[in-house]
Each structure stands twice: as structure tokens, then as C-alpha cells.
Amino acid sequence: MSPIKIESPHAFSSSLLFWRWLLLSFLLIAVDQVSKLTVAFVLPLHDRIEVTPFFNLVHTLNPGAAFSFLANAGGWQRHFFTLLGLLVSIFLISLLWRGVRSRLETLAYVSIVGGALGNVIDRLRIGAVVDFLDFHWQTWHWPAFNSADVFIVVGVGLMLLATIGPRGRMQAKN
């Protein structure tokens, strides 16, 4: 017989503040869209502004996924990544609605939803994603990316931390 687990009345659940978490995702989408629109307004397509010896602001369009993955795949990837972004976002939003017990995991989901939907909006609006962050060293350039990509990568990192953290290890044992 296993011991009875008593939940603290102060236990965290994302469902209690669902609308605030969703609002935070929308705020991330707004930050992403404003940054992309600003770059598109200020910088002509394919131009760059050198900010530091290792960082440029650029204006590129990426029909692929994060960091130009499948950028030259012939066009099918636009619809695939739009659908994938929508499905992942719907799934994560439904998990937040049902109640996630970890603040870190909640923030991860919020960040991924904000980034995924930010890029989905670009794909629906212009058929590609606006990228503007260009890091380089001498002749080596990391593929340009945007704030939505940063939100997604941070969200995945937070998910990993939530999984390997003390609560994540305890939940894995049960």
C-alpha cells in the first residue's frame, strides 16, 4: 500500500492563472512581431548593420525552420512548419489549461507557444520568417535567427531544467 499524498493548498497549478499565462505568451508574440516589423521597416531586405565585430542586425527572410533548417526545401516546409507550430501550441496551451504543476515547466510552455506562434504569424503573413540576429566570427556565420527562435530555445532549455531538476527527478521515480 502506498502512502497517501496530501496536496498543499498552496500547490502551484498553471490552470489557476491560465489566462495570465496565455497573456504572457501573447506578450512574447507581440515583442517578436514588433521587433520583426521594426527591422523590416528600418532595414531593406538583405541589408545589414554592423553592431559589434561579432554581431550584425540583418534583414533576411527564412522559408525554413529555426536557423534556416530546410530553407531550400521547395516550399512544402512553409505549410508543414505552420501546421507544426499551430499543433504544438494548441497541445501546450491545453496542458496549461489542464494544469501544469511546475512553474518552470509552465514558463517553458509559455515561451515555446510565444515563439512558435510568432513564427506562424510570419509564415501566414509573408510566407517566410523574418530573421535579423546575425552572429559571426571572422568568415564563420551562424544562420540568422529572430526573437521567436530565442523564445523557443529558451523554452526547450527550461523544459530540460524542469525535467532534470529535483522535482523532475522525483516525478520520474514515481
1 lies in some domain: no
pTM over 0.75: yes
140-141 β-sheet, strand order: 48-52, 55-62, 129-137, 140-141
In a domain, 153, yes or no: yes
pLDDT surpassing 50 at residue 6: no
CA-based nearest residue to 131, from 24, 47, 27: 47
- Say if 100 falls within a structural domain: yes
- Above 90 in pLDDT, residue 168? no
Q: How many domains does the chain have?
A: 1
When pLDDT is averaged across residues 117-127 and rounded to a whole number, the result is 95
Question: pLDDT tens digits for 81-114?
Answer: 899 999 999 999 999 999 888 899 999 999 999 9
Active-site hit among 32, 122, 134, 149: 149
> What per-residue confidence (pLDDT) applies to 171?
52
The residue among 87, 93, 84 whose CA lies nearest residue 66 is 84
Cell numbers for 67:
536557423
At residue 150, does pLDDT exceed 80?
yes
- 7 lies in some domain: no
Q: One-letter amino acid identity for 51? A: V
DSSP codes, 51-111:
EETTEEEEEEEESSSGGGTTTTS-SHHHHHHHHHHHHHHHHHHHHHHH--S-HHHHHHHHH
**Residue 15 falls inside a structural domain:** no
Residue 89 structural domain: 24-173
Answer whether residue 150 is part of any domain: yes
With bands split at pLDDT 50, 70 and 90, how would you rate the model's confidence at 72? low
Q: How far apart are CA 121 and CA 54, in angstroms?
A: 29
149 labelled catalytic: yes
Question: Which candidate in 32, 122, 131, 134 is catalytic?
Answer: 131
Domain contains 32 = yes
pLDDT in tens, 33-42: 999 999 999 9
In a domain, 4, yes or no: no
| 131 in catalytic set | yes
Say yes or no to pLDDT of 170 above 80: no
Q: How much of the chain, in percent, has pLDDT values that exceed 90?
A: 64
